[in-house]
Amino acid sequence: MFEYVQDYGLKFNGALTPRKKTVRIIEHHTSGGPGETVQGIHAYHLGRGHKGIDYNFCVLPDGTVVKGRGLEYCGGSVNNSAPESKGMNDDSVAIVALGDFEHNEMPEAQKEGLKRITRDVAQYYGITEIIRHKDVSDTDCPGKYFPFDEVKAYALGGQPQPAPTPEPSVPGLTRNLKLTDPMMRGADVRQAQERLEKHLAQPGKIDGIYGEKTKAAVKRFQQARKNEGRDIGAVDGIIGPKTWRILWE
Ligand SMILES: [Zn+2]
C-alpha cells in the first residue's frame, strides 16, 4: 500500500473479499459535519450490518489519507444490485472525502490528499475510469462543490492511456476433449495444444490429436492452476468448460 496512508487498525466483522478485478474509482463525500471521524463512520456501517466501513480510503479535512477497507478489497459504497451500479462494489475502489461538499467548499489540504490517493490508485491499477457516486445513483454525493474535474484531471494527467489487455477471446467448446480410443482429432484439439504450449505445459507435437502427451500436458496445466488456488475442478487430463476457459487466459 501507499506509505503515506494511515492505518487506524479498524476491526472488520468477518473477512473482507478481495476484488478479482479493478476497473474504476468511485468518489464520495460523507456529507457529515465537523467532528466526524473514520472510526465513527466505521461504527455506523458496522451498525448497519456491513462488514465495516464501506470505503477503501478516506481523506480527512487536513489531507490525511486513512485506510478504510484498504486497497485490494471489495467495498460497499454503491448499490450493488441497482441497474446503473450493478456489481460496482466488486470492481471499484471507493474513495471518500469527509465532509459535506454539497454545501461547503473543500479545504485545499483535503483536495491535495484526495488528488494524491486518486492518482496513486489509478496508476497502481492502470485505470482511467473515475466517476462520482451520483454518476451511477440518485444521490448528491459527492456534492456540487466536490472538485471532481480537478481531481480527475490530476489523477490522469500525463498518464499514458493503458493499452487494452490483449486477452484472446475464448472460442466455444463443443465437446469435452480427452484421451479416447480411437483418439480425438480436430481443430479444437489443436487449439488446446497451442494454448497448452503457451502455458508451458509441454503438449509435444501440435498435431490436433489428443494423445498421451496432450493428456499429460492437460494434467500439468490443471495441477499448476490448482496449486495457484484456481477452481479447476478435477486434475483429470480432461478439457471441460472450466479448463478450456482458463486455457485462454
Ligand atoms: Zn457516495
> Residue 150 to residues 105, 112, 121, 125, 157: CA-CA distances in angstroms?
13, 10, 16, 20, 10
Please tell me the distance from the alpha carbon of residue 244 to that of residue 199, in angstroms, as a whole number. Answer: 12
As given in the structure block, the three cell numbers for residue 214 are: 496432450
As given in the structure block, the three cell numbers for residue 195 are: 494454448
> Residue 143 to residues 28, 103, 128, 147, 207: CA-CA distances in angstroms?
8, 7, 21, 9, 62
How far does the centroid of ligand 1 lie from the alpha carbon of residue 81, in Å? Answer: 15
How far does the centroid of ligand 1 lie from the alpha carbon of residue 24, in Å? Answer: 14
pLDDT confidence of residue 165 = 57
Nearest Cα residue to 92 out of 155, 22, 160, 154: 22
How far does the centroid of ligand 1 lie from the alpha carbon of residue 144, in Å? Answer: 12
How far does the centroid of ligand 1 lie from the alpha carbon of residue 27, in Å? Answer: 7
pLDDT confidence of residue 168 = 62
How far does the centroid of ligand 1 lie from the alpha carbon of residue 93, in Å? Answer: 12
Please tell me the distance from the alpha carbon of residue 161 to that of residue 193, in angstroms, as a whole number. Answer: 34
How far does the centroid of ligand 1 lie from the alpha carbon of residue 133, in Å? Answer: 5
User: Could you read off the pLDDT tens digit of each residue along the chain, which spans 249 residues?
Assistant: 799 999 999 999 999 999 999 999 999 999 999 899 999 999 999 999 999 999 999 999 999 999 999 999 999 999 999 999 999 999 999 999 999 999 999 999 999 999 999 999 999 999 999 999 999 999 999 999 999 999 999 999 854 445 555 556 788 899 999 999 999 999 999 999 999 999 999 999 999 999 999 999 999 999 999 999 998 989 999 999 999 999 998
pTM for this predicted structure: 0.64
**DSSP of 92-140:** EEEEEESS-TTTSPPPHHHHHHHHHHHHHHHHHHT--EEEEGGGTSSS-
Contact 195, 203 (CB under 8 A): no
For the chain, the first-to-last Cα distance in angstroms comes to: 27
CA 207 to chain centre: 38
pLDDT confidence of residue 166 = 57
